[in-house]
Chain A
Amino acid sequence: MAASLANETNAAGLRHDERVEKLKLFGLSAPALLIVFVVLVIPVGWLFYLSFLGADGTFSLENYTRMIDRKSYRRIFEMTFEVSVLTTALTILIGYPMAYFLAQLPNRLASVFMIAVLLPFWTSLLVRTYAWLVLLQKQGLINQWAIALGFWDEPIKMVHDLNGTLIGMVHIMLPFLILPTYGAMKSIDRDLMKAASNLGASPKHAFWTVFFPLTIPGLFAGALMVFILCLGFYVTPAVLGGGKVIMVSMKIVSNIEMFVNWGAASALGVVLLIMTMIILWIASKFLNLDRIAGGGH
């Protein structure tokens, strides 16, 4: 009797100690959480508040109604979606075969090619955008070669418009798609394909019914990441778009730099953030979001 009572007290004490220890351990994440809180959560919360202030400093929805009423604002949202959808689609069309190619290579060779994929991933965004500016301009290399090879006669304009922006953005986004897709492809048991052909499936049939469905989670995660990054993209459209491609992020910047209109800029930012969150939320219904974060917790 006395012994079991002591055991229970001990057990309760141990449970308490364990809780305290876990909380203490969790406390180690405090510095990181604090920094994120001060530099991200508070400022974004503040912008949220500003977005509901009108020009006269009182509560108003004018920053939001403006987005609905004005055609120019609607056009910007349409443009942002258009660029994001096109970039994502093109990235899938180019990236999926590339990932497939990488997955077929023997490991040693694959890691060499992987470096070729990762190097641009690590290279400055600005440098890559600049390279496209140089390549695509009228006297640029692509025009020179195309004329020399007889594809077209006159230098054509490929930059400072939508096409230039798309080319630059697809190039920048490719690694984000290739890495998760490649990961999914690598984790497929090769015997499955052999089994499929053993059962009489043509290579094409086996690919579409066995291989492709198994790569969808990776592909989807990559495409989602690309789409979300596109929605908020600034640098590449600003440099390669030549003023013809105006995305939400660029309108936010010009609202502040040119018009010093914090309310309008904040409201745009809030809408952009909410769109991103809705997309993530919908996506989370279909797949485990941890995949995007490289398999977190």
Chain B
Amino acid sequence: MPTLIVIPMSFSDSQYLEFPPQNWSFRWYEHYFGSDEWMLATRTSIKVAILTMVVATPVGVLAAYALHTAKIPIVRLAFVLLITPMMVPLVLVAVGAFYVYVKLNILYTVTGLVLAHTVLALPLVVIVVGSGFKTFDMAQENAARSLGAPRWKAFLTVTLPQIRFAVVTAALLSFLTSFDEVVVAMFISGGENPTLTRNMFNALRDQIDPTIASISTIMILITTLMMVLALVFGGKNKTE
């Protein structure tokens, strides 16, 4: 786990990244929390990640449900289209979104970021929730409907609770997809809404700033927290 090396380093007192640190201090954390720029970026990232989760999860669940139940040929094509974002080089998504966002006047906006990140998160939601549906016996939903429940009610009260692990996993994955995303954010975030990853990437290209170590540590913490949440709520449903 070479990644974990950044944790002790973030508590170093030194300008240079030495290991083990000679003196311990919180100065890089102070620098991070004291910087308006980093705080703005952090707020944007969290806001966008939460909104992406809120948008991608229901939209993706609906799509997965549609693909699972509507047994018509076009489903195949729709599935391919929905998982395409995983296959298209990210740079191309970024450049394309940038170009169109300028025309739509949503460049550097939270809306634009959420839309783009939703597209990146959808394949994961559709796949994870789709495999959740596969382990579910649709006869149960049909039974509820034959007893008089409308389809939406049968879905919400019978189906959804049983695939909730897959849905929770998908939601957490959407959050992380957005929160960690660099390339697209590099192009379409900025101005009043820069993301954390965008600022980190720019800082990395210039020099090795120990502030990045403290931010990385915080990001690792958030990821671990998400993973623990997924394991707790996702039960035995693994993400693969």
Residues of A within 8 A of B (CB): 22-23, 25-29, 31-33, 35-44, 46-47, 50, 114-116, 118-120, 122-135, 137, 139-141, 144, 171, 179-180, 183, 228, 231-232, 234-235, 238-239, 249, 252-253, 256, 262, 265-266, 269, 272-273, 276-277, 280, 293-297
CA distance A36 to B86 in the complex (A): 11
Question: B201-229: contact bitstring with A at CB < 8 Å (1 yes, 0 no)?
Answer: 10011001000110010011001101100
Choose the segment among B22-30, B33-41, B113-121, B156-164 that binds chain A (4+ C-beta atoms closer than 8 Å): B113-121
Q: What residue in chain A is nearest B227 (Cβ atoms)?
A: A122
Question: B116-136: contact bitstring with A at CB < 8 Å (1 yes, 0 no)?
Answer: 101100110011101100100
Between A and B, 5 residue pairs with Cβ closer than 8 Å are: A26-B72, A232-B92, A262-B99, A266-B95, A272-B92
Which B residues are in CB contact (< 8 Å) with A273?
88-89, 92
Which A residues are in CB contact (< 8 Å) with B239?
118
Given A47-B95, A120-B1, A239-B205, A276 and B67 contact (CB-CB distance below 8 Å): no
CB of B100 within 8 Å of the partner chain: yes
CA distance A265 to B94 in the complex (A): 12
Additional pairs, 14, CB under 8 Å, beyond known A25-B66, A47-B92, A171-B2: A26-B66, A31-B62, A33-B82, A37-B81, A39-B93, A47-B99, A115-B231, A123-B220, A130-B204, A131-B5, A140-B19, A234-B90, A234-B182, A294-B131
Question: B61-102: contact bitstring with A at CB < 8 Å (1 yes, 0 no)?
Answer: 011011101111011101101111111111111011111100
Could you tell me if B122 and A32 are in contact, using CB atoms closer than 8 angstroms?
A: yes
Which A residues are in CB contact (< 8 Å) with B179?
124
B183 nearest CB across to chain A (Å)? 5
With beta carbons under 8 angstroms apart, the residue of A43, A44, A115, A144 that contacts B19 is A144
A99 nearest CB across to chain B (Å)? 12
Residues of B within 8 A of A (CB): 1-6, 9, 16-19, 59-60, 62-63, 65-67, 69-72, 74-76, 78-79, 81-93, 95-100, 115-116, 118-119, 122-123, 126-128, 130-131, 134, 176, 179-180, 182-183, 186, 197, 200-201, 204-205, 208, 212-213, 216, 219-220, 223-224, 226-227, 231, 238-240
B35 nearest CB across to chain A (Å)? 18
Which B residues are in CB contact (< 8 Å) with A23?
70, 72
- Chain B interface main SS type: helix
Could you tell me if B1 and A116 are in contact, using CB atoms closer than 8 angstroms?
A: yes
Q: What residue in chain B is nearest A50 (Cβ atoms)?
A: B99
With beta carbons under 8 angstroms apart, the residue of B3, B100, B122 that contacts A131 is B3
Which A residues are in CB contact (< 8 Å) with B131?
294-295
CA distance A39 to B100 in the complex (A): 8
Closest 6 CB pairs of A and B: A232-B89, A43-B96, A32-B63, A29-B66, A28-B66, A25-B70
Could you tell me if A32 and B71 are in contact, using CB atoms closer than 8 angstroms?
A: no
Q: What residue in chain A is nearest B231 (Cβ atoms)?
A: A115
Given A131-B2, A183-B240, A269-B95, A122 and B72 contact (CB-CB distance below 8 Å): no
Could you tell me if A32 and B75 are in contact, using CB atoms closer than 8 angstroms?
A: no
Could you tell me if B88 and A134 are in contact, using CB atoms closer than 8 angstroms?
A: no
Q: What residue in chain B is nearest A289 (Cβ atoms)?
A: B80
CA distance A248 to B239 in the complex (A): 31
Could you tell me if B197 and A124 are in contact, using CB atoms closer than 8 angstroms?
A: yes
B121 nearest CB across to chain A (Å)? 10
Could you tell me if A141 and B96 are in contact, using CB atoms closer than 8 angstroms?
A: no
CA distance A27 to B75 in the complex (A): 10
With beta carbons under 8 angstroms apart, the residue of B17, B71, B119, B200 that contacts A126 is B200
Q: What residue in chain B is nearest A43 (Cβ atoms)?
A: B96
CA distance A42 to B70 in the complex (A): 26
Q: What residue in chain A is nearest B183 (Cβ atoms)?
A: A234
CA distance A104 to B87 in the complex (A): 32
Which B residues are in CB contact (< 8 Å) with A276?
87-89
CA distance A272 to B63 in the complex (A): 29
With beta carbons under 8 angstroms apart, the residue of B81, B92, B116, B205 that contacts A269 is B92
Which A residues are in CB contact (< 8 Å) with B122?
32, 35-36
Given A26-B70, A294-B240, A133 and B1 contact (CB-CB distance below 8 Å): no
CA distance A8 to B96 in the complex (A): 53
CA distance A141 to B2 in the complex (A): 10
CA distance A120 to B5 in the complex (A): 13
Which A residues are in CB contact (< 8 Å) with B79?
296-297
